[in-house]
Structure 1
């Protein structure tokens, strides 16, 4: 597979899952040993758990749009920098609804199989910015680093 094929697969996965909510189609792109890891949730998720989480978030944020800002590929790895945009209309994952349009930056590290399936996604969200936009308490980086 070419690097462009790898990037196309990742963009297709984002479009099917996050932007359109076509989770059954997105799951067909997952390998049998698929894992999703994220700073947003505290444990690795298999494909069905990932689909359930995306469904929960899309239910709370029905107008959610994920914009891929950058997509870089090397070997079996793809890295995306994305911006999630939307309004939380109902509580989700412990966060309250808000009438504000949220903008959340995320970096994701994707590992693909030779057969062009997604084996792993490891995503880091800018949770402090997210919390600040919701008006929730945030902590400075130095404060978090101290015991």
Structure 2
């Protein structure tokens, strides 16, 4: 596959999971050893764990839309910069419900295997921006860095 084709697969995966909730279709794009890492998770997740995470977030944010701002590919790797837009209708991941419409920047690093399946996905959400928009206290850098 070309870089352009892999970028299309990353876009398709984002659309199927986050925007449409078509998780069974998205899982077909995963390799058998799929691994997901994120600022939302304490440890890596397999495909089933990733599905549960997306289901939980989509249930809490029924108006969620993910817009891909930038997508870059080289070799078997893709980088996406996205913005998640929506409000938290019910508590999720330890955060309270809010009627505020949030705009959460996120970056993701994708690794595709030789069968053009998503083998690894690592997503970094801008949690400090999220906390600020929610009106929650930000954590000073030193507090985050120290045990």
Distance 1:70 1:97 in 2: 29
Aligned to 1:114: 114
Shift of 1:140: 2.9
Aligned to 2:102: 102
Over aligned residues, Cα RMSD in angstroms?
1.0
Q: What do residues 44-99 of structure 1 show as CA deviations (whole Å, max 9, x unaligned)? A: 00001101110110000001000000000000100000000000000111110001
Aligned to 1:86: 86
Aligned to 1:125: 125
Shift of 1:114: 1.3
Aligned to 1:10: 10
Show structure 1 runs of 4+ deviating over 6 A: none
Shift of 1:133: 0.9
Aligned to 2:20: 20
Aligned to 1:51: 51
* TM-score, normalisation: structure 2: 0.96
Distance 1:28 1:64 in 2: 22
Tell me, what secondary structure is at the counterpart of 1:12? helix
Aligned to 1:145: 145
Shift of 1:146: 4.8
Distance 2:122 2:145 in 1: 22
Distance 1:81 1:114 in 2: 24
* TM-score, normalisation: structure 1: 0.96
Tell me, what secondary structure is at the counterpart of 1:97? coil
Shift of 1:144: 3.0
Tell me, what secondary structure is at the counterpart of 1:13? helix
Shift of 1:107: 0.5
Distance 2:146 2:31 in 1: 39
Gaps of 5+ in 1: none
Aligned to 1:30: 30
Q: What is the aligned residue count?
A: 147
